[in-house]
Amino acid sequence: MTIQKQAGFWFAALLATAFFLWLFSGILLPFVAALALAYLLDPVADRLEKLGLGRLGATLVILLAFVLVLVLVLVLILPLVVRELTAFLELMPEYVARLQSLLVERGAPLLDYLGIEVAGPELQRNIGDIVSQGAGYLGTVLGTLLASGQTVLSVFSLLVLTPIIAFYLLVDWDRMVATVDGWLPLRNRDTVRRLAREIDDVLSRFIRGQATLCLILGGFYALALTVIGLNFGALIGLLAGLLSVIPYVGSITGLLLSVGVAIVQFWPDWPWVLAALAIFLFGQFVEGNFLSPKLLGGAVGIHPVWLMFALFAFGSLFGFVGLLLAVPLAAMVGVLTRFALARYLQSPFYDPAIGRLQKRDAAPARTPEDRDA
C-alpha cells in the first residue's frame, strides 16, 4: 500500500471517528466514563490476579471498593459542597458590590491619576446592574439544568450505568486488547504496538500524576484557607484543586476568589488578605518546583498550551464527553506527531541526500560479468 493510500485510509478513519463522536455525543457519557474507569483500574486488577484472585473476583473487589468510596463521597462530601456553593452564589452579588465599593473608596486617587473617570454612585449602579443580571442569568441556567430531564438522565447514567459497564469492560479488558492486537496489519504490527505502548505510558503517567497533583493541591488549599478562617475556604480550595487539571486555571481562579473574599471579609485587616495570597503563592512554588517534576516528570509529552487547546476544543465540540476524551486524544496526537516528525526528518522530503542513499542501497549489486559487459 502506498503512502498516499495509507494516509487516505487513516484520514477517513479519523473523520469517521469524529462523526461518530459528534452523532452520539449525547449518549456516550457513561460509556466513555466506564472506559476511562476500566483503563485506570486494569493495573490494579492485574496485581490482584498475581495475588491469586481470578479476573472476575479481582473486578468484583475493585468495583465494590469504588462504589463504597463513591457512596461515601455522595453522602459526606457532596451535601457540604452543595450547601457551600449555594450560599456562595447567594452572597456573590453582595461580595462583588462590596469590592466595587472598596475600589471606589480606596482606588479613586489611583484611577484619577490614570485618567479614568470615576463617578461613584453611577459606577456602583452600573456594576450593581451587571452583577444582578449575571446572578439572575446564573440562577436561571442552574435552575434549567437541575430541572432538565437530560441532566437527570446523565446523572443517573453516571451513577448507575457507568459501574455496570466498567465491570464488563474490566472483566474482558485483556481479551479485548488481545483481539484488537490481532486485527493489526502484519507488516506494521511492531510499529503500531510500539506507538500504542508509548501512548499508554504517556497517558497513564499523566493521569496518575495529574490526579495526585489535583488531590494534593485541593487538600492543601482547602485546609489552609479554612485555617485562616476564610469564608467558603474549603469550597474555594477544592475548586482550585479540581481546576488544576488545566494548567494555571485552577491557581488563578482560586487566587482571585480567595483574595476577593478575604478583602470583603477581613478589610482593613490586610495581613489576612496577604495570608490568602501567600497560600496560593506557596502552593504554586511547591507545585512548580517539587510536585510537578516528581509526579509528572519531564517526559510526559503533553505541553500545557496543547493541553488547554485540546480541553477547550474537544469540550466545545463534544461537550462533557469531549472533556473526558481531550487528555487521551491529546496524548495520542502528541505521540503520533513526534513519530511522524521523526519519519519526516529521515525522509527524502527533508534531505534529498537521504533519497539518493536509499536509491543506491536499493539498486542491485553489479556482478563481474556486468562490469565486463
CA-based Rg of the chain, rounded to a whole angstrom? 28
307 lies in some domain: no
Examine the pLDDT at 272 and tell me if it is beyond 60. Answer: yes
46 lies in some domain: yes
20 lies in some domain: no
pTM beyond 0.75: the answer is no
What integer pLDDT is reported at residue 282 of this predicted model?
A: 92
Is pLDDT larger for residue 27 or for residue 274?
274
The residue behind cell 472598596 is: 102
355 lies in some domain: no
Classify the C-alpha dihedral 218-224-227-230 as positive or negative: negative
Q: What's the domain range around 162?
A: 26-173
117 lies in some domain: yes
- What is the band of 227 on the pLDDT scale with cuts at 50, 70, 90? very high
Number of domains in the chain: 1
What integer pLDDT is reported at residue 53 of this predicted model?
A: 84
| pLDDT tens digits, one per residue of 347-360 | 777 777 766 665 66
What integer pLDDT is reported at residue 147 of this predicted model?
A: 46
What integer pLDDT is reported at residue 149 of this predicted model?
A: 45
Percent of the chain with pLDDT over 90: 4
What integer pLDDT is reported at residue 126 of this predicted model?
A: 55
Intra-chain end-to-end CA distance of the chain, in Å: 37
Examine the pLDDT at 134 and tell me if it is beyond 50. Answer: yes
200 lies in some domain: no
- What is the band of 141 on the pLDDT scale with cuts at 50, 70, 90? very low
Classify the C-alpha dihedral 238-243-245-248 as positive or negative: negative
92 lies in some domain: yes
What integer pLDDT is reported at residue 309 of this predicted model?
A: 81
SS (HEC) of 304-363: HHHHHHHHHHHHHHHHHHHHHHHHHHHHHHHHHHHHHHHHHHCCCCCCHHHHHHHHHHHC
Identify residue 96 by its one-letter amino acid code.
V
CB 344 within 8 A of CB 336: no
97 lies in some domain: yes
User: Taking all residues of the chain, what is their mean pLDDT, rounded to a whole number?
Assistant: 76
Which of 128-137, 276-285, 292-301, 338-347 has the highest mean predicted lDDT (pLDDT)? 276-285
Examine the pLDDT at 329 and tell me if it is beyond 60. Answer: yes
Examine the pLDDT at 203 and tell me if it is beyond 90. Answer: no
